[in-house]
Amino acid sequence: MPTHRSPDQLYRHSLRLLLDKDIDAWTALWAEHGVMEFPFAPPGWPRRLEGRDAIAAYMSGYPDHIDLHDFPDLRIHRTTDVRTVVAEMRGLGLLVETGAPFDMTYIAVVTVREGQFTSYRDYWNPLAVQQPGLDFAGNGAR
């Protein structure tokens, strides 16, 4: 019987991969039919991505837009469903095009089955997309 990372371990590992700019390895953490949602996405931004391929396409240019340096203040809360965690964090870095600081606060509700993400609801701040020079926010591109 295979052993898998717990949801909080998998989430921490996924953040390390984002800091390492290893989007292929990050995408490999997803179940084939996983769903990523952005409930607060403003008009013109995707609200739902279905399947690993759609998520991979969405995330493919992430390092070209945001140079992530750290995820301070990470808090992972377990829920009554052992497969689901709630993560609170900040993402800090630079916007590649302008060199401007990137500072985004996130709350994510993440479900893991058999060691892979199956559901990820990302509650990032849509007001941040109104900042000058920010054409890429949260976990994806327009």
What is the pTM for the complete model shown?
0.86
pLDDT tens column, 27-39: 999 999 999 999 9
Q: Is 94 exposed, middle or buried (0-12, 13-18, 19+ CB in 10 A)?
A: middle
Query: What CATH class is the domain 7-131?
Result: alpha beta
Res 137 pLDDT > 50: no
Where are the domains positioned within the chain? Answer: 7-131
